[in-house]
Amino acid sequence: EIKHTWWKEAVFYQIYPRTFMDSNDDGIGDLQGIIDRLDYLKDLGVDALWLSPIYDSPLDDNGYDIRDYYKIHHDLGTMDDFKRLLQEVHKRDMKLIMDLVVNHTSDEHRWFQEALKDPNSPYRNYYFLYPQDNNIPPNNWESFFSGGAWNKYEEEKLWGLHLFSKKQMDLNWDNPDLRKDIIQMINDYLDLGVDGFRMDVINLISKTAGLPDGNVKLGKMMGYCGIEHYFYGPHLHEYLHEIHEKAFKPHNAFSVGEVPGLSMALSQMVTNDEREELDMAFSFDLLESPGHTRYEDYRYDLNAYRDQIHEWMTHYGNHCWMALFYNNHDNPRMVSKVDHTHQYDKQIETLLAIMQMTLKGTPFIFQGDEMGLTNYNFTSINQIHDIEGVNLYHELIKTMSEEEAFKIIKAGTRDHTRMMLPWNKASKETMGSLYQDAHVSMIKIYKVLIHLRKTHQALIYGDYHCLSSKHNTYIYERATENETCIIECNLSNTVLKAHNYPDMHRVFPSRVENSRLLGPYEARIYIKDTSNASH
């Protein structure tokens, strides 16, 4: 019933190149560093890599502001290094996807520079540039990075739209020439051998014609005014389908869309295989507990997570496929949100890894997950570099003390996951040798779990059934005709009575006495071969 594809079976690993691995000791991660760690990743069991942007950029938003799609940022290497990386990845029978940032470009991109300077430039209509000689922006939309969504270019007497930073100018997808250039660029990379793309805020590319004012009340509720005019814009389906038809499909390439703000129902629309838009989507609904936002210092509620993920497991359907992730470069580490005391870090990390490898969907490990990394203990605003956090801080101190503002930034800053990975410098050569034993043992756990997933089809394609959703408990089954897996989880820091499945084989953790008690955040995996059950 479910179509089998490589990307449903793969384990992905997200690399944030600037902080993954520095090969030449200039303090910045680079492409050679990634090449140096490919054997480590292969050994971990990773099948596919997603690289956050590596293109030329003034780094206003750490590379999500692209100046030249066809150039690699010099901090990271050259186009030849990239081709070599791609070759080395393929040599190991792995895949590589890049980040596609096409809702906006840097204001330093040639297109924008020409558009700004020359009213007759064909690029004028690549952006939302409105001539206006007064101080009233064209509409009331707000930026995700604080303040209004318009920048005024005094000299040129123009206003330009930017949903993100002042240097990330939104592209006008209603212009067929722009679409042609973007699709050409995608095809150029696919021709090079890239296996697909993660598509940055791809659900924002279609804006309501004329860019009307946003509803102010809704804006207050959602945090940003104007979103109803672009979260799932009027031509989104059409544009996604066009990219699919003209680039992804002919290359048999993979796409995963980053779609902030799309509910399950809308995610189903963009990933339904019959619609031919995206293969998969990152939905952020599960990253915060209901009623909470990222910049709040609260305890993530795993019981609520169970109820939510159960909804997805039950209703997302066999024509859609979800990405399973707890961390990325835009969010604090989940383990630190669940428990602030650090008492159960390892147990929680293991629990999350177990659910990630056994629920229905494709796991995306974020760099450092496998090392058991937790949030960073920032002590001063001077340590925060992420533009979103910095802008928000300046906004907040208008109405509160610096201490209060810093507390908020510390809870939600994107810098928690953008710290350099703690490889052991002294033993750079030795694969997987890290600076702490704790890290090594977490790596072992990931290896075992990834291996289990690979050797048991039920964990990939099996039907999902919830067996218990009692408070603090989550027991579910993944089953095919041939095998049944049961995953039993304690979602709390208290000890629970274990269920135990005497007629099944316990595979995680194996070789440990089967206690009748389930420790804090402990989880177990049982498997039964049912292929001969009827004989």
The torsion angles phi and psi of 421, rounded to 5 degrees, stand at: -65, 140
258 tagged catalytic: yes
213 tagged catalytic: no
Contact partner at residue 317 from ligand TEU, Ca ion, none, CB < 5 to 8 Å by partner kind? none
The answer to whether residues 165 and 108 touch, using CB atoms and an 8 Å cutoff, is: no
Contact partner at residue 164 from Ca ion, ligand TEU, none, CB < 5 to 8 Å by partner kind? ligand TEU
Contact partner at residue 260 from ligand TEU, Ca ion, none, CB < 5 to 8 Å by partner kind? ligand TEU
Closer residue to ligand TEU, CB minimum distance, 57 or 347: 57
| The binder of ligand TEU chosen from 22, 56, 142, 200 (CB under 6 A) | 200
**Nearest 5 degrees, angle CA 424-CA 428-CA 433?**
55
Contact partner at residue 28 from Ca ion, ligand TEU, none, CB < 5 to 8 Å by partner kind? Ca ion
Minimal distance in Å, beta carbon 533 to ligand TEU? Answer: 46
Distinct helix (H) and strand (E) counts, the chain: 17, 22
22 binding ligand TEU? (CB under 6 A): no
Residues 6+ apart with CB under 8 A from 85: 31, 34, 35, 96
Query: How many Å separate Cα 21 from the centre of its chain?
Result: 19
424 binding Ca ion? (CB under 5 A): no
Exposed / middle / buried, residue 510 (Cβ in 10 Å: 0-12, 13-18, 19+)? exposed
Minimal distance in Å, beta carbon 33 to ligand TEU? Answer: 20
* Dist. CA 94–CA 35, nearest whole Å: 12
Closer residue to ligand TEU, CB minimum distance, 12 or 344: 12
- Two tokens, residue 183: 């699709």
* Dist. CA 119–CA 122, nearest whole Å: 9
Binding mask 251-270 for ligand TEU (x = CB under 6 A): -------x-x----------
Catalytic option among 36, 170, 200, 242? 200
* Dist. CA 415–CA 434, nearest whole Å: 22
Binders of ligand TEU among 51-70, rule CB under 6 A? 61, 64
How many C-beta neighbours within 10 Å does residue 358 have? Answer: 27
164 binding ligand TEU? (CB under 6 A): yes
Contact partner at residue 26 from Ca ion, ligand TEU, none, CB < 5 to 8 Å by partner kind? Ca ion
415 binding ligand TEU? (CB under 6 A): no
101 binding ligand TEU? (CB under 6 A): yes
Name the pairing type of β-strands 523-529 and 483-490: antiparallel
Give me the amino acid identity at 335.
V
Q: How big is the site for ligand TEU, counted in residues (CB under 6 A)?
A: 12
Hey, what long-range contacts does 400-409 have (CB within 8 A, 24 or more apart)? Answer: 405/381, 406/380, 406/381, 407/297, 408/295, 408/296, 408/297, 409/295, 409/378, 409/381, 409/384
Closer residue to Ca ion, CB minimum distance, 26 or 93: 26
| The binder of ligand TEU chosen from 30, 388, 488, 522 (CB under 6 A) | 388
Binders of Ca ion among 6-65, rule CB under 5 A? 22, 24, 26, 28, 30
Minimal distance in Å, beta carbon 414 to ligand TEU? Answer: 6
The answer to whether residues 372 and 365 touch, using CB atoms and an 8 Å cutoff, is: no
Contact partner at residue 30 from Ca ion, ligand TEU, none, CB < 5 to 8 Å by partner kind? Ca ion
Active-site amino acid positions = 200, 258
Positions in the binding site for Ca ion (CB under 5 A): 22, 24, 26, 28, 30
Positions in the binding site for ligand TEU (CB under 6 A): 61, 64, 101, 144, 164, 200-201, 258, 260, 329-330, 388
